[in-house]
Every structure is written in structure tokens, then in C-alpha cells.
Structure 1
């Protein structure tokens, strides 16, 4: 199964967009001339664009790490179960091959039909396991994504950010970003604090 390969390359922390403070204090001073007003507006907008390093987020966000570990365990268990069933099937095939010359035609036919059914069953189990893992992955990482975006909406509103970009060395949609615009640590600290509080409330 390639489910974990897909899982490992998935970064749910992609495409953070927060449209906050749309009615902020960005109006240009009407007493300035047009060129000054444009420059002031452009500078104000630039100052409200920040980014989050999604590699660091995936590494340090406790909720994401917990979900990743949980899904890894599910994948490993599914693989172990299928491997065990597959090995048992191979032993049955080997046993049949050793005995087939001593069997009657009807016994060989019945055994081959039974083995064919088992092989089909193993194929269905593999498909069902992959489908179930993919669904679990989508649901769990969907919850992580929701937690991140909801936090960023609040964080952006509190700090006056109009746009929060994501940056990743593995998939650099942003080729360069000034480190002064990096709010990753603030976001990770805030997310972990929220996650810790939610876990404490559940107890």
C-alpha cells in the first residue's frame, strides 16, 4: 500500500488565507497628494502581508504531530494484518502444490476454487484498508487544517494582517520572503497553547 507515502507528503498547513481587517485604518491622508497617498497605501498593505513556514509548523505543531503518529500506527497495523494474511495464504498455496499430485481431480478443483476465493478476499481487504486509511487521513488532516485556519483568522484580525502566506522549502510557491515577515513561531506557540487548553478542558 502507498497510503503512508501519500500521507507523509501531505502538508495540511498549505494555502493559509485570512482576509481580516478589511475595514482597517489604511485610508490615505486626504491632505496628501495622489502619489503620496498611493505610496502610503502600498506600504501599509505590504506591512500586512506575512507568512508561515509550513515545514516548521508540521514539525512543531503538537496536534499535527499527534495525528501523524496516530495515522502512522493505523497504516502499520493494516500492513501487518495484510502481511500476516498474505503469508498464511502463501503457505496454503505451497501446501496445495506439494499435495496436488496425490489429490483426485475433484479435490484439486475444490482446493483451487477455495484458494482463488481467498486471493480475491485478500485483494478486497487491501482495497478496503487503503480506502479506510485514505478516509481517516482526509478527516483527521481536515480537522488539523480547520484548527490552523480558524486560529489564523483570529491571529490575523488581532495583528491587522490582510494576507498570510505559506512557505515550504519542499514546495516553494514563495521563492523569497524576508524573515521579518515570518510569524511561524507566534503561530506555532499560539496553536500549541490552544491545543493544550482544549485537551485540558476535555479532562
Structure 2
């Protein structure tokens, strides 16, 4: 039997955000914007957000990441303990098998196989539950950022809010167009005012 029951989870919330920031808002063009023959000329208002910095400093993301990592750690420990317990039962059975009758041996082996199947089912169900919870957190993260950027843009009238990250599609970004800190400050203020979940706070040391 295979007792390698540990789960390896990689928190990839950033993937849910990586495609978020290329947003086109329907604000009014700035005064120096002109359009001729259907071609857009210089003058449109564009800013960008550093995706890596946003995720690193957004308290909701940090708390969520800690919460999911903690649940994953607990699940791994639980699975390892159950796996070791089953392994010990198998080893004991192998030692005593020669003293058992064929009927006793078959019955014990069937019981051990059933326990193994139950453990695999438990592992798969728990893994699915964590994956579903992570997906919900991804969706909540997406909605939080999207909603705040839309609200922020109503006050500023930008036409593009781009997501900038190393290795991404934007090769250069003028620092004067960087609104990352403003977005982070606003998101964290809203998150704090809404009240941090007790589960997230409990992970902090």
C-alpha cells in the first residue's frame, strides 16, 4: 500500500489577479484627446498598478493566504497521521498473517483495503473542499480589486488602468503613472473598515 498521503498545495491567488488590470473604462476623454479617421492619438489618460506589489501589500490577500496555508498544513498533518496509523496496521497484519486462518487473513486484508479506500476518499474530498474555498477567495479578491478600481476611476477619469509586472506584456512604465500605493491604501482602508475575519486574524502572530 502507498502511504504517501501528504498533499502539496501551491497558493496561486495571483493567477486570478494577473489578468485583471487591463481594464478599459468608459470615462470621458481628457481635453487633449483627439480622434481622427478612427485612430486614437496621444492624450488618453493611462495609469498602472504593480501587480506583485499589490498582492504583497493587500491585507485581504495576505490574510487569505495565511488562512489557506494553515488549513493546508492541518490537512497534511491529519493525512500523514492517518497514513502512518494505517501503515502500522498493515505491518502488524503482515507479522501476524502466518498465525491466522485463511478466512481471518482474508477478512483482515479486506478491512485494511477498505480503510485505505476510505483514506483516499477522505483525502480527495478534503482536497476538493480546499480547492473550492480557494476558488471562492480568488473570486472575492477579484471582485474587491475590480470594485475599488472602478470606484477610484470615477473620481479620476482614467481610460486605462494597466497591470504591470516583471515579465509581463508591458516593457516599460513611467513611474509618474504608478498609482499602486493609492490603490493599496484604498483597498486596505476598505478592508479594515469592513472588519477582518476572525479566522484570518487568528493566523497572525
TM-score with structure 1 setting the length: 0.84
Correspondence for 1:22: 27
Correspondence for 2:127: 130
SS at match of 1:12: helix
**Does the CA contact (< 8 Å) of 2:60 and 2:188 recur in 1?**
yes
Q: Distance in 2 between matches of 1:80 and 1:74?
A: 10
Q: Kindly state the Cα deviation for residue 26 of structure 1 after the two structures are TM-superposed.
A: 4.3
SS at match of 2:170: coil
Once the two structures are superposed, the pairs formed by residues 105-116 of structure 1 within 5 Å of their partners are: 105-116=102-113
Q: Kindly state the Cα deviation for residue 53 of structure 1 after the two structures are TM-superposed.
A: 0.9
Q: Give deviations 1:65-99, integer Å, cap 9, x for gaps.
A: 11111111111111111111111000100110111
SS at match of 1:174: coil
Q: Give deviations 1:19-75, integer Å, cap 9, x for gaps.
A: 334334447589xxx69xx7xx62221xx1211111111110011111111111111
1:197 aligns with 2:203: no
Give the 3 Å change call, closer, same or farther, for CA 29–116 of structure 1 in structure 2. closer
**Does the CA contact (< 8 Å) of 2:49 and 2:178 recur in 1?**
yes
1:97 aligns with 2:94: yes
Cα RMSD of the aligned pairs, angstroms, is 2.4
Q: Distance in 1 between matches of 2:92 and 2:177?
A: 66
**Does the CA contact (< 8 Å) of 2:64 and 2:137 recur in 1?**
yes
**Does the CA contact (< 8 Å) of 2:145 and 2:187 recur in 1?**
yes
**Does the CA contact (< 8 Å) of 1:18 and 1:152 recur in 2?**
no
Correspondence for 1:13: 17
More helix by share: 1
Q: Give the unaligned 5+ runs of structure 1.
A: none
Q: Distance in 2 between matches of 1:28 and 1:60?
A: 34
Correspondence for 2:41: 42
Correspondence for 1:82: 79
TM-score with structure 2 setting the length: 0.83
1:177 aligns with 2:176: no
Aligned length: 189
**Does the CA contact (< 8 Å) of 2:28 and 2:157 recur in 1?**
no
Q: Give deviations 1:145-170, integer Å, cap 9, x for gaps.
A: 1000000001122111111111222x
